[in-house]
Amino acid sequence: MGITKKYSYDFDQYEEEGKGPSTLVEDILADPEFPQVTDLIIGDWGNSWEEDCQAILDGIAANAQRFSHVEKLFIGDMEFDECEVSWIMQGNYKELWTALPHLKELTIKGSMDLDLGEVCHEDLESLTIICGGLPVYVIEEIQKARLPKLKKLLLYIGSDNYGFDGNPDTIREFLEKVQLPKLEYLGIVDSEIQDEITEFVLESKFMTQIHTLDLSCGTLSDKGGELILEKLPQYDNIKYLDVHHNFMSEKLIKKLEELPLSVDTSDRNEPDHYNGKIYMYAMLTE
C-alpha cells in the first residue's frame, strides 16, 4: 500500500539554508520513506514567485527510474500566504510524460511559464490545472494531447488579468478538437465567461459520455443556468452537476436542485453594481 507525502520548503529554508528547486529532488530521494510514496505532492519550493520549478521537473526526469513508482503527482500545492496562485512560477513538463509511465493523476497549480510540451501518456486518468488564468497555448497543448485513458479533465480558465488570453471561441474550438474517448468528468471552471462556456459544453460531444459536469467557480448566471435546465434532462448519463460559486437567482437555483441528479449550487453570490455597470468575478484569479 503506497503512501501520500508532501515535500516543501519555507522561505527561511530558502534564505538561510540554501534550499530551493535545485535541492528538492535530492532531499526527496534521500527520504527513506520515498520508495513507498505513490502520491507525491510538491509544495512551495521556497521562493515560488521568483524561481520556477524547472529544476524539480528536470530532477524527476533525470531520476526517472527512482520516481517510476509515483502514481499521483501534484506540483505547486501551496496556499495564498505562501504564494498567490497567479505568481507561482511553473516550468516545462515535456520530459515528464515519459519519465513517469505509471502516473495516473497529475495536478498542476499555477500557470506562469507553464509549458506542457507534447502531451502524450498512455495511462494518465486525471489532469487538473488550477490557476488564475490559463494561456491559450496551454489549452492548445491539451487540445492536441494523446491521453487515451483520461477520465477526468479539470481546467481553471481564470481571468484575462492573470493569464487567460482567449475568448469563448477558444473553448468552443477546444471542445470540438480535443479527443478524450474515456472522459467521465469534464470541468471547465473558474471563468469570467462561464455562461458562454456552459453553452459550448452543453453542445459538446462529451455530454453523452460523462457522468460529472463541473461548471463551478465562475460567473454562471441565470443565462447559463437556463441553458442547463433546458439541455441537461436529455442526458441521463450525467449523475452530478457542480455549479458552486455562482451568480444565479434563488429561483433558478431551486429549479436546478429539483433535477433528478446530485447538484451542488452552494456559494451563491450577488453581482456588484458600480457606476451603472454589473460586475461578477471568478472564484480564483490572483
Q: Provide the residue-wise pLDDT of the chain in tens; the chain has 286 residues.
A: 789 999 999 988 988 888 999 999 999 999 999 999 999 999 999 999 999 999 999 999 999 999 999 999 999 999 999 999 999 999 999 999 999 999 999 999 999 999 999 999 999 999 999 999 999 999 999 999 999 999 999 999 999 999 999 999 999 999 999 999 999 999 999 999 999 999 999 999 999 999 999 999 999 999 999 999 999 999 999 999 999 999 999 999 999 999 999 999 999 999 888 887 888 999 999 8
pLDDT score at 259: 96
CA proximity to 190, closest of 124, 128, 237 = 128
d(CA 112, CA 44): 15
CA angle, corner 87, sides to 84 and 90, nearest 5?
Answer: 120
pLDDT score at 278: 83
d(CA 195, CA 201): 10
DSSP 3-state of 62: helix
Task: Count other Cβ atoms within 10 Å, centred on residue 81.
Answer: 7
CA proximity to 118, closest of 135, 143, 91, 136 = 143
pLDDT score at 234: 95
pLDDT score at 277: 84
- Beta-bridged to residue 241, according to DSSP, are 213, 263
pLDDT score at 17: 86
pLDDT score at 64: 97
DSSP 3-state of 109: strand
What are the φ and ψ backbone dihedral angles of 30, each rounded to 5 degrees? -80, -10
Q: At what angle do helices 21-30 and 54-62 cross, to 10 degrees?
A: 40
pLDDT score at 274: 83
pLDDT score at 11: 86
The secondary structure of 14-37 as a DSSP string is HHHS--SHHHHHHHHHH-TTGGGE
pLDDT score at 18: 86
